[in-house]
Structure 1
Amino acid sequence: MRGKMNPIHIVVAGATGRMGRETVKMITREKHLKLTGAVARSRKGEDVGTVIGLGELGVTLTDSLESALEAGQPHVLIDLTTPETVKRHMELAIDAGVRPVVGTTGLTEEEIKDLDRKCRERDLGGIIAPNFAVGAVLMMAFASKAAKYLPDVEIIEMHHDQKLDAPSGTAMKTAELISREREEKKQGHPEEKEILDGARGGYRQGFRIHSVRLPGLVAHQEVLFGGPGQLLTLRHDSMNRESFMPGVKLAVEEVMNRTGLIYGLENLMEL
């Protein structure tokens, strides 16, 4: 972490979205962080603080990440946009010598490898976090441990109805961690038949992932492990987006001291 006289300068892309608003608020509360740029698709030319209800912050919204990076001269880009734009935004940041901290999922393994290479070439750190909630990261770590002993598992993830990707990045990361700890095992009856296509959810290494999208939800996940005469349920619930802010803050602080692209907040924690 930088000292009081040398705050970490940050540009936020997606600054007027629900996560972006909480992130801007968090930055303004922390003395060692400083907002120097804000990107959004609308309200160009307006003060970001006025738009989100904080009062004037002296940072004008722009719809161009390139101009925000040039004008803001940040150390870190926090990108909270969409899967369609995140790769381009990360490339722009890395080319400008700016460390990306990304809360948007949807990148392929090959894209992540390519971005990691670009970070290392520029001696920069970068972080992609499928979930910034510390409790969700712990849930994923516990699921990984449980899979060694209870290999029959299903994942149910539940999010608000405006989420663009399914399954969620958290569910996919959980599935990845579980897959490292168990051999592939096709679950359910061998003659099982889906009466309605998709009723059994997405398939991953023999187990299933189910996605629920409803208004009123924020971000929730259950990992269910079954065994003879027993059921283990691991569940995490984010009631509001403030729950993600300690993880965002941790990522911003840690990315200053890392090289290469890190995937998953658990890699910044002592788990």
Structure 2
Amino acid sequence: MPINIIIAGPRGKMGSEAVQMVSNEESFTLVACIDRKNGGKALKDLEPFPGLDVPIFEDPEQCFQTVDADVFIDLTVPDVGFEHTKLALLYDIHPVVGTSGFSSEQVAALEDLSVTHGTGCIIAPNFAVGAVLMMQFAKTAAKYLPDVEIIEKHHDQKLDAPSGTAVKTANMIQETRENKQQGHPDEKEILDGARGAQIEGVHIHSVRLPGLVAHQEVLFGGPGQTLTIKHDSYNRASFMEGVKLSVHKVMGLNKLVYGLENILE
């Protein structure tokens, strides 16, 4: 039986990629989209989607009330994505969320709601399988090379900094690395922010430039050696296999799972 899917933000770069992926997957059926500008229209009325006779709703609650859906995909922006995800859980629709920038308090609130309703939810800071492997390799390396910094680079339209992937990487590193202060004890920033942000001693540096998509380097240093673990997404198709996997996996969950690595076998 096909999985019925609602997508938020179909005109966005990630959302439009998700529309194409869902439309091309035999086991999925796109039943509606949520868009803040085109309520009452169909996807076929929008230039990138000829032939897709799928209704568009401006009001997400009306969409969730009206449409029979199994999964809700949100790849929008943090504030909107959080409200969308709450509503989907309230209507027992399984969210798959790639919107980064949620606070720990927001994730905790969604986790409570997911458990209360017994409705599975997957939130992934990064849906690229290679990026997830990069994070896992970094976690292992930090046990042996605890001096580490993260450089993440994204397109200049990204709203949050540092990226959810960088924060998730730093959190995973802390599972194997003892908290330590890096650099010279008398180090002084001549310009505020020159050393980047910090999560328990791990410095994170954010770059925002046109031409980039999503890139991250985790740099480790030790006596006489360095190790760099790097991942690059050159286009947004790189995220779709993770989204597809999450749609299948979320149907069997009754709680929130944070991070694609937790559903990889």
TM-score range, shorter chain: over 0.9
Q: Which of these residues, 210, 224, 233, is aligned with residue 228 of structure 2?
A: 233
Describe the SS at the equivalent of 1:244: helix
Contact kept? 2:36, 2:58, Cα under 8 Å: yes
Matches within 5 A, 1:8-19: 8-19=3-14
Residue type of the alignment partner of 1:259: N
1:28-177 maps to which residues of 2 (within 5 A)?
A: 28-177=23-172
* Matching of residue 258 in structure 1 with residue 253 in structure 2: yes
In 2, distance between residues paired with 1:121 and 1:56? Answer: 39
Could you tell which deviates more after superposition, 103-112 or 152-161? 103-112
Identity %: 55
Structure 1 window deviating more from structure 2 (92-101 vs 104-113): it is: 104-113
1:242/1:52 CA distance change after superposition, 3 Å: farther
Query: For residues 111 and 212 of structure 1, what CA distance do their matches in structure 2 show?
Result: 25
Residues 47 and 255 of structure 1: is their aligned pair in 2 closer, same or farther, counting only changes over 3 Å? same
Amino acid paired to 1:255? V
Cα deviation, residue 50, structure 1 = 4.3
For the Cα contact (< 8 Å) 2:44–2:50, is it kept in 1? yes
Does structure 1 retain, via aligned residues, the 8 Å contact 2:154–2:213?
A: yes
- Taking the aligned partners of 1:79 and 1:137, their CA distance within structure 2 comes to 19
Q: Deviations over 1:15-47 (max 9, x none)?
A: 110000000000011111010110112233332
Could you tell me which amino acid in structure 1 is paired with residue 140 of structure 2? K
Displacement of 1:107: 1.9
Aligned to 1:3: none
Return the letter of the residue paired with 1:114: A
Q: TM-score, normalised by structure 1?
A: 0.95
Return the alpha-carbon distance in structure 2 between the equivalents of residues 25 and 169 of structure 1.
24
Distance 1:263 1:128, change over 3 A: same
Question: How many Å separate the matches in 2 of 1:49 and 1:221?
Answer: 36
Aligned residues: 265
**Where does the alignment leave 5 or more consecutive residues of structure 1 unmatched?**
1-5
Does residue 194 of structure 2 align to residue 199 of structure 1? yes
SS in 2 for 1:85: helix
| Cα separation, partners in 2 of 1:212 and 1:94, compared to 1, 3 Å | same
Q: Deviations over 1:69-122 (max 9, x none)?
A: 122211111011111112211111111110111011222223222211211121
Counterpart residue number, 1:180: 175
Alpha-carbon separation, structure 1, partners of 2:60 and 2:164: 24
CA contact (8 A) 1:16 1:52 kept: no
Checking the alignment, whether the CA contact within 8 Å between 2:152 and 2:215 is kept in structure 1 is yes
Contact 1:155/1:224 (8 A) holds in 2: yes
Alpha-carbon distance, 1:52 to partner: 5.0
Q: Label 1:52 to 1:249 Cα distance change in 2 as closer, same or farther (>3 A).
A: farther
Superposed CA deviations along residues 174-232 of structure 1, whole A, max 9, x for unmatched, are: 00000111111100011111111101000111120000000000000000000111110
User: Secondary structure at 1:235's aligned position in 2?
Assistant: strand
